[in-house]
Structure formats: C-alpha cells, structure tokens
Structure 1
Amino acid sequence: MIRSLRWRGAAFTVPFQLGFVFLYLLPIGYAVYQSLYRSQSSGLGLGGEAEEFAGLDNYQQGLTDTAFLGSVLRVALFACVQIPLMLLVSLALALLLDMLTSRAAGRFRIALLVPYMIPGVVAAIVWVNLYSPQVGPLTPLGKVFGFDWNFFASSMVWPSIGNLLTWHGVGYNMVIIYSALQGVPRELFEAARLDGASERRIALSIKIPYVRGALVLTGLLSIIQMLQIFNEPALFRNITPQTVSDSFTPIMIIYSQAFNAGNYHYAATLSVLLALILGVASFLFYRLTSKEAD
C-alpha cells in the first residue's frame, strides 16, 4: 500500500521530469556535442563546409579569447556592484513592508511587483525611451536642476542599465525576503521591545539574520541573471553602437557568433564555458555565504 502511494506521488512529477529532460538536459547535451566539432571548408571553399571532430580545440580558443574573457570580467565587475545594491534595496523595502499592517503591506507589495510583471524587453524599451534626450523627460528634467547628463555615454551606460535592472527586479527579490520575514515568530519582536530594543536593533539583530537564507537565494538568482544579461545592452547598442559593442556581454558574443558569423560550434563552446563559469560562481557564493551563516 505504501509503495503504491509512493508511485502515485512520483507520477505527479512526471510532467516536470519530462520538461526537465527535453528542455534542459537534451539541449545542454546537444550544445556539448556541437562544441566538439567545427565547420571546415572543403574543395577550396567551393565544396561547401563539412563538420570535423575538433576535440577540445574550441575550448582552447574560448579560454584564450580576449573578447569573451573581457566581457565576462566586465559583467562580473558590474555584478559586484549591482547585486549588493539591488539586494540592499530589496531588503530595505521588505523590512518597511514588515512594519505595516497586512492590508497596507499587500497593497504596496502588489505595486512593487508591477515592474517585475512587465516583460524584460518591454521594460528595457520603456527605459531606453525615458533615457532618450530627444523624447525622454529625464534629460530636460536634469537640465532644470543643472545636470547635463547623457545616459548613453560610456561612463553612464552601466549605471543606466543598473537602474533599469533594479527597477525591474527589486520587487521579485523583495517578495522572497518579505515572505521569509513572515516566518519570524512575532513573539521575538515583543520580547525584544520589552527589553527596550528599538526597531532598528530588532531589524539588525533578529529580522536580517533570520532571512539570511532568502538573501542567499536571491543572491544566487541574481548572479545567474547578471552573467546572462542580454536584452538591455542589446537595446542600448541600437542607440549607441559606438559605446556598446557586440562583445559587450558574454551572451552578446555568443549571439553574434551564432547568428551573425554563423559559427554555431564556437557559439556552443562559449555557451558551455559560460555555464561552467555560472556554476563555479554560484557554488563559491553559496559556500562563502554558508560559512558566514555557520
């Protein structure tokens, strides 16, 4: 009887397992397979191209590709600033919501989630138009207060993209942290207040340590998102190609190799390398944060 119930319970996971196999495992396996080959012209270029086994040659090329490695470093440095800033804003909003009544918190929570409900491409288009000196209101508004800023300048591209990502993703991270805050026993707050603790001390000593797991989760998700950033810089490239090149981020290089250069094997190689970098970065982040939690 127990075995039968276990099999019935496992049957509910079949749709997920099938989706995981066909949408994740098989594409990953095919990318690894493609990365081991390369296209070779035959017959002085008149006989078309033939695939030949390349072994690890593509990986050697990828690991010495200065454009790819530079894009990874560029995005990694951006992530070191963007992720802590976004998580700090999300944490602050979650703490403020936790101080409100349930009805008021529900209203503000929905309002803060609205930007996340907007598709990423649509959100990027909206902000590109807001940044535009021709049609956007931000440039004229800045001149009123004496600021002559150009959101598409080389020194402002990353802050502009960072502001867009924060606006779009802060609500999602806030909800995860706020949900963790709801699990904190309320009697701890009452006991702390009876001992004379201020709201600031309660937040620092009780609430923030309690949501460490949620912060680790949102940090991992943010790392994965940052290294795969594509929509925002791609749209910025349409406005300012002299500032945002086609090798600005790793995904932009992979896209260019696959769809512009037609080098699908090398694009698959870079995709596998990026996946490995993401895995290593996520593992190191988790290990470091777990040690801090211990």
Structure 2
Amino acid sequence: MTTAAPVALRRRRGSTRPRVAPWAFLAPAIVLFTVFLLIPMGYAIYLSFVGLRVQGGAFGTRQQVFVGLDNYVAALTAPEFLASLQRLALFGVVTVPLTLGLALLFALLLDLPGVRAIRFARTAIFLPYAVPGVIATLLWGFMYLPSTSPFNYVLKAVGLPPFDFLNGSNVYGALANIGVWGGVGFNMIVLYTALRSIPTDIYEAAKIDGASEWQIAWRIKIPLLAPALVLTLLFSLIGTLQAYSEPTTLKSLSNSISSTFFPLMKVYQDAFSLDDVSGAAAASVILALGTLIVSLLLLRALQRRTFDDGRAR
C-alpha cells in the first residue's frame, strides 16, 4: 500500500501536466495561419471601416478617419461592382454545372468494370488542372484569335465564315471553356476517389437483383456521392468567385473585357489604380462574406440531408 500510493500520485500528477508535444507540432501551422490569414483579414476589415478625408479646411491634409459603413454602402451601390457581380453570376451559371457534370460523368465512366487504360485516362483528364491558369489562358487565347485560331481555319476550309470567340457575349463562352477545361480534372479525382471507397458488395447485390450499370449509377452511386458532390460544388463556387487570371489575361486580346469585368478585377482597380484601398477592402469583405454564407448554406444542407437519411434508415 505504501509503494502503490506514491506511484498513483505520480500518475495523477503526470496526467495533469500540459502536453507540450502536440502544441509544438501545431505551432508552425498556427503561426503561418495567423500571420498570413488572420492578420491580413483583420487588417482588411479595419481598412473597410476607415477612409481618407481632408482635415483642416481647403488647405488641409488627408487623414485616415473612421467612416463606419460608408465604404460598404458605396461598394454595394457602385454600378460597376454590381455589373461585375452579374457577369460573374452568368459565368458561374455556365461554368459550375458543366464542370461538375463532366467530372461526374468521367468519374462514373472510369469506375465501370472492365474499363481499360484507367491510369492514362485519369492522368489525361487531370493534366489540365496542373497547367497554371495564366499559361492555359494564353494558350486558349491564341486559339481564340481569328488570325491564329485553328477552329477558324477548319471553318474556312469547309466554307463557313470565321467565328470571333472574344467578341461581345461570346467571351463568356470563351472564359467558361477555360474554367471547365482546367477544373474538371480536380473534381473528377475527388469524385472518383469517393466512388472507390464505396463497398463493392452493394454493386454485387444490385446486380443479383437485375440492376443494370445505368441503374446502379443513378440509384446507388450518385446518391452515395452526395457529400463529395457538395464538396466539389463548394470548391467550384469558391473558384468562380475567385476568377481573376483568365479575364485579366484575355483582356489584352479582347475589347469586350473591361478592367472591371469581374469583382476581383474591380477590387484590383480600386486598390492599385484609383488608390481607393478602403473601398477595395470593403468589396473584398463583401465577397468573403458571400463565399462564407454560400459555404455554410451548402454544408447545412448536406448535414440536414445526412441526418434525415440516418433517421430514415
């Protein structure tokens, strides 16, 4: 009894000591997260509530003062910013469904039994995602230009008039094509990985009941892919809201793309061309809040569906 008591006491004391090792491993990530994300976000929020105003009469100096929600009101009522949001919404309506639809189609095709050259097909579909956005846009830009477009060469060879991909409303299709071409591969990998994690016993039981591959895909695979589909939808929406490099790169090749074509281009112009850092910060916060709200709504819908399915079972 006398020897057991000190041992138990030492164990209790050891259990109350703070565990330093986990925090030591997390420290680099916490520091990087704080320095490169939390502090810039906090500073952007601070800038969105201040502005430069002339103090001291006609010959005064510009000073940074608190302006409340004036920057947010100015951003939400700016015609150029609202127009850029409308163009971005149109771009997203075209890009997101096509990206997810093609990614799901490719994932289902690769998951079919007896498919050959799966590794080559996965690599070929994923490869465009590995190409930097600026380089991909330049490559497609030269294929869009009427003077260098191979598509117009084919049209001319068959006696049809050339098509200007970068003129007027055609530019939406040109930009959407670049976004789809670069985004399908990543989403396909996510969906294909989720498909491979589904137990094959479910498929075998469905085949015994006489289900075809189409019925298995529609009634089993796609419903079980709901969490992965929501995740890829979330990635696609965030990528759409962050669209910047494609229109900025194509701007020099088309007169239909203005300096404020998309919201991030408007933010860049306000911050670095018009020296309106506070207005740009307010617009950035609005975009970030919009992204956060959409993400929370999607995750809430997924959580509600998961709980409803669990209760139904």
Q: TM-score, normalised by structure 2?
A: 0.86
Q: Secondary structure at the match of 1:55?
A: coil
For this pair of structures, how many residues does the alignment match?
293
Cα distance change, pair 88–206 in 1 and its aligned pair in 2 (3 A):
same
Cα distance change, pair 47–129 in 1 and its aligned pair in 2 (3 A):
farther
Cα offsets for 1:73-121 (capped at 9, x unmatched): 2212321232111100000000111125697322211121111111111
State the alpha-carbon separation in 2 of the partners of residues 192 and 6 from structure 1: 50
What residue in structure 2 maps to residue 193 of structure 1? 207
2:278 pairs, out of 265, 272, 284, with: 265
Cα distance change, pair 168–184 in 1 and its aligned pair in 2 (3 A):
same
Give the AA of the match of 1:9.
P
What residue in structure 2 maps to residue 79 of structure 1? 92
Contact 1:62 1:68 survives alignment (8 Å):
yes
Give the AA of the match of 1:180.
A
| Identity %, equivalent residues | 38
Of the structure 1 ranges 275-284 and 243-252, higher mean CA displacement relative to structure 2 is found in 275-284
State the alpha-carbon separation in 1 of the partners of residues 29 and 265 from structure 2: 30
What residue in structure 2 maps to residue 230 of structure 1? 244
What residue in structure 2 maps to residue 110 of structure 1? 123
Cα offsets for 1:252-281 (capped at 9, x unmatched): 100000111111111111111111111122
State the alpha-carbon separation in 2 of the partners of residues 218 and 200 from structure 1: 22
Contact 2:146 2:163 survives alignment (8 Å):
no
2:296 pairs, out of 264, 276, 283, with: 283
State the alpha-carbon separation in 2 of the partners of residues 46 and 259 from structure 1: 26
Give the AA of the match of 2:162.
D
State the alpha-carbon separation in 2 of the partners of residues 96 and 4 from structure 1: 54
What residue in structure 1 maps to residue 151 of structure 2? 138
Of the structure 1 ranges 97-106 and 229-238, higher mean CA displacement relative to structure 2 is found in 97-106
Uncovered stretches (5+) of structure 2, i.e. residues with no partner: 1-13, 309-313
Taking the TM superposition and a 5 Å limit, the aligned residue runs for 1:229-248 are 229-241=243-255, 243-248=256-261
Cα distance change, pair 253–95 in 1 and its aligned pair in 2 (3 A):
same
Cα distance change, pair 7–256 in 1 and its aligned pair in 2 (3 A):
same
Q: Secondary structure at the match of 1:252?
A: helix
1:155 aligns with 2:175: no
1:125 aligns with 2:125: no
Contact 1:72 1:227 survives alignment (8 Å):
no
Cα offsets for 1:167-222 (capped at 9, x unmatched): 11100000000000001111111111111111100101111111111110010011
State the alpha-carbon separation in 2 of the partners of residues 291 and 68 from structure 1: 34
Q: Secondary structure at the match of 2:33?
A: helix
Q: Secondary structure at the match of 1:247?
A: coil
State the alpha-carbon separation in 2 of the partners of residues 128 and 206 from structure 1: 41
Q: TM-score, normalised by structure 1?
A: 0.91
CA RMSD after TM alignment = 2.3
